[in-house]
Amino acid sequence: MADLKSGEKQTLVEEGTQFKGSLTSTCPVVVRGKVEGEIATPSLTISETGAVHGKAKIGTVVSMGDIAGEFDADTVQLSGSVRDNTVIRAKTLEVKLSTEEGKMEVVFGNAKLSVGDEPEDA
Amino acid sequence: MADYSRDEVLAKVRGGEKLARADLRGLDLSKAVLDKVDFRRADLEGANLEGAKLKGANLANANLVEAYLKDADLRDAKLDKADLEGANLERANLEGADLKRASLEGATLTEANLSRALVVNASLEMADMGGAKLEGATLSHAEMSEAYLGAAKAKGADLSNADLSRANLEEADLTEANLTEADLSEAKGPGANFTKACLQRANVSQAVLAGANLTGADLRGADFTRADLHGAKLTGAKVFGATFSEANLDEIELEFIDASTDGDGTRRITGDAALEMLRSGRPSAEVPGRRYFGKGDVMRNAALEFGDNSFVEIESRFEKCSIALGAGTELVVGDAGVLQSCTIEGAGNIIIHGRFLEEKSPGIVGPKRLIVSSRGAIQATVHQPEGHTQFAFEPGSRLRLNIVRPDDEKGR
């Protein structure tokens, strides 16, 4: 989470903080606590302790935490967990394999992923 | 013109003032003590910081283009997103520094110490890192094409997914380094040491690794097409699924190779048989349980069952086929492969470079691992097994996935 110290203006929902409602920001948003509701921001980072449950319209999402709901984004990087009834729509998605054998980088519940152009039978 | 003179800067530092966003272009701050100073977004283009003490300094987003940082002490400094294009960091101490997303294109890092540094997603194209210390550094996803890493000491470094295409790695020490899915195409690494390094699924095509030491390296799924491995040491290398088509294997040192799917030494091939296996181009072709379905073939309405620990590669078109995978079996749908209206069931590992297009849900049941590469496309419902599926998706993959958790009865 070194980005948090880089001096860029950003909105921080700190660990132990729970936010309910609608959050719109032109700054990057960093969530270490919990957000329930709607988020619109160019950049959303969810730390290992963070959770976002709700609807999000975002440019870039980097999630290491817990997500649920509907996420519309350009770019998504996922680790952590994806709860039931989650829909992710994105232009690109990156999920890496864990470097530790047998360990999950992402644990998916029931989720729908719609990423990039429609797969077609050429 | 800089905002302040050298004396004014040093006075501000002594007074504990920040220099964030300050215009310090071309200023001579050589040998100045600037530990922990806040230089965020400062403009230090062309500044002379030779021998400066910048331990723990915050230079995030700073402009350090063409800055002279030779012998500077930058231990634990924050340089994330800093612009260091063309900067001179010769012998600089960057141990533990944060260089995430920093731009170091064409920078000089000769004999610099980057041990434990975080260099994720940094841009290092054409950088000179000759003799640099990179032990324990994290350089995953770094752009290092055409960089010079001759004699670099990178034992245990994380270079996974790094772009090292056309880089020079001559005599570099990459012992136990993680080069998973790295791009080493056309790299030059004569005499480089890759002992016990992990090069799983790396692109090593057309690389020059003559005399390199790959003893015990994990090369599973790597592509060594037309690579020059003349005189290289390959004893104990894990080669399952690797490609050696048209590679130069003359005079390689090879007592045995590990052809097991899991790289656990359970399928050891020795002597001439090992060499012949590599010369065949696809070592896995000789492995019992390997199945290959070539380009141009079409298979319809077939039921296929593959036993445990098999390796199945499909470059053909399959229509309305049901495929059962034994435990540990690897199913690779190649770039030309299409699975249309098929089903896959079983605890295998599925890697998709081509296409999987479901008609009847669920198309995939119980996979241990599902990887879709940047070239792959999948439209399917995936029922996870107990313990969940390990998923990996590369940027560029096209996905229409409905993922169902293991204990969900409604999805069945």
Interface test with B, best of A3, A6, A83 (most B CBs within 10 A): A6
Q: What is the pLDDT of residue B308?
A: 81
pLDDT, chain B, mean = 92
**Which of A16-20, A118-122, B156-160, B232-236 is predicted least confidently?**
A118-122
* Residue A19 touches chain B, beta carbons under 8 Å: no
Within 13 Å, how many C-alpha atoms sit on residue B78's CB side?
A: 21
A93: closest chain B residue by CA: B395
The answer to whether the beta carbons of residues B50 and B30 sit under 8 Å apart is yes
* % of chain B exceeding 70 in pLDDT: 96
For the cut 90, the answer to whether the pLDDT of residue A29 exceeds it is yes
Residue A60 resides in a domain = yes
* % of chain B exceeding 90 in pLDDT: 76
* Residue B397 touches chain A, beta carbons under 8 Å: yes
Do A95 and B392 make contact, defined as CB atoms within 8 angstroms?
yes
Q: What is the pLDDT of residue B311?
A: 81
Measured CA to CA, the distance from residue A75 to residue A54 in angstroms comes to: 18
**Which of B18-22, B84-88, B325-329 is predicted least confidently?**
B325-329
Q: What is the pLDDT of residue B411?
A: 47
Q: Length of chain B, please?
A: 412
Residue A11 resides in a domain = yes
Do A5 and B38 make contact, defined as CB atoms within 8 angstroms?
no
Residue A109 resides in a domain = no
| Angle of CA points A9, A12, A13, to nearest 5° | 165
* Residue B357 touches chain A, beta carbons under 8 Å: yes
The tally of domains found in chain A comes to: 1
Residue A83 resides in a domain = yes
Minimal C-alpha gap between A115 and chain B (Å)? 5
pTM above 0.95, yes or no: no
* Residue B338 touches chain A, beta carbons under 8 Å: yes
B378: nearest Cα among B407, B404, B342, B412: B342
For the cut 80, the answer to whether the pLDDT of residue B264 exceeds it is no
Within 13 Å, how many C-alpha atoms sit on residue A3's CB side?
A: 21
* Residue among A3, A5, A114 whose CB faces B399 most closely: A114
Strands (E), B362-397: 364-365, 369-372, 377-383, 390-393
Span between the terminal Cα atoms of chain B, in Å: 70
Range of the domain at A30: 7-93
B265: nearest Cα among B220, B310, B204: B220
